[in-house]
Amino acid sequence: MQCMRKDPEMDVIGTHFSFATNDTEYFNVFNPSATTFDLDRFNPEVIVHTGALTHVDYCESHPDESFHHTVGSTAASLELAEKYKAKYVFISSDYIFDGQSGPYDEKAEAHPLSVYGKHKWQAEKLVREKIDDHLILRITNVYGHEIRGKNFIAFLIKTAQSGEARTLPLPKDQFATPVNADDIGKYLCLLLKDNKRGIYNLASDEYLNRVELAEKVLSYFPKHKVKIRAMTTSKLEQAAPRPLKGGLKNDKIKKEYPEYRFSTVEEYMKENYGI
């Protein structure tokens, strides 16, 4: 979770629950009094809630845990937003859709397939019911620099650089719209500055399946020893059903901010790993 104050310097406090960093403070949304900073004194004007149990296959066999961390944490952080009269920002996903006719715009009807998707959708509805002054940002396939390197592109880069010989079975029929984490931050700041409300998709103009995305990334490491085995999702036997034609349309935010654009995977790779 992040807490922000608009004045005088747009102070921001980032928090962690299970993974500590040098730039975050410990915070348990279910027990705010146990935090390592004085939330009352900080008195946030904006609360950005990013907490959820994101391991979608794990969620299928642990629905109660998924509900607790995704829906329960949303309900608890909404109570804080009500207490401090803060604007509330919720990060959602294209997993609220069934993947039959993506990419999806903000008005598309939700039909989640997985436990994770159902809980994200339930949390979205809770936000709309509880707080008028809210932003719901739907994202998918986020990439960029991160400490743990958990995102798909970071994993591919780490594997390629290691020189390890490895075969990756990847779905050729799962499509999405990858988005750079830097773009998410940029657009979030714009939306907050302009006091926007409602649902916004944050997605690039690229529409790629996992095989295409992996090939694009690995092309920057000519000596890599990674082999891709393209498969259909049904052959992968993943525990959680995936939205195959997923992804998000960005027409709404591009119309409101025509002077800005989303970056591409190619640009990210050239800037950071190009020769």
Mind listing the pLDDT tens digit for each residue in 4-51? 454 445 588 888 888 888 888 888 899 988 887 888 888 999 999 998
In this predicted structure, which of 17-26, 140-149, 250-259, 265-274 has the lowest mean pLDDT? 17-26
Predicted TM-score (pTM) of this structure: 0.93
**Average pLDDT in the 119-139 region?**
97
Fill in the DSSP letter of residue 248.
B
Measuring CA to CA, which residue among 183, 184, 180 is closest to residue 154? 180
What pLDDT score does 275 carry? Answer: 61
Mind listing the pLDDT tens digit for each residue in 164-182? 999 999 999 999 999 999 9
Mean pLDDT over each residue of the chain, to the nearest integer: 93
Find out whether 68 and 116 touch, Cβ atoms under 8 Å: no
Q: Say whether pLDDT at 194 is over 70.
A: yes
In Å, what is the CA distance from 156 to each residue of 5, 244, 264, 269, 274? Answer: 37, 21, 16, 12, 15
According to DSSP, the residues that pair with 75 across neighbouring strands are: none
In this predicted structure, which of 29-33, 154-158, 180-184, 243-247 has the lowest mean pLDDT? 29-33
Q: Where are the domains of the chain?
A: 2-145+178-207+245-263
Q: What is the dihedral of CA 52, 58, 64, 69, to 10 degrees?
A: -10
Residue 262: CA atoms inside 13 Å, Cβ hemisphere, count? Answer: 28
Mind listing the pLDDT tens digit for each residue in 68-112? 999 999 999 999 999 999 999 999 999 999 999 999 999 999 999
CATH T-level topology, domain 2-145+178-207+245-263: Rossmann fold (3.40.50)
Residue-wise DSSP of 28-94: -TT-GGG-SS-HHHH--SEEEE------HHHHHH-HHHHHIIIIIHHHHHHHHHHHHT-EEEEEEEG
What pLDDT score does 5 carry? Answer: 52
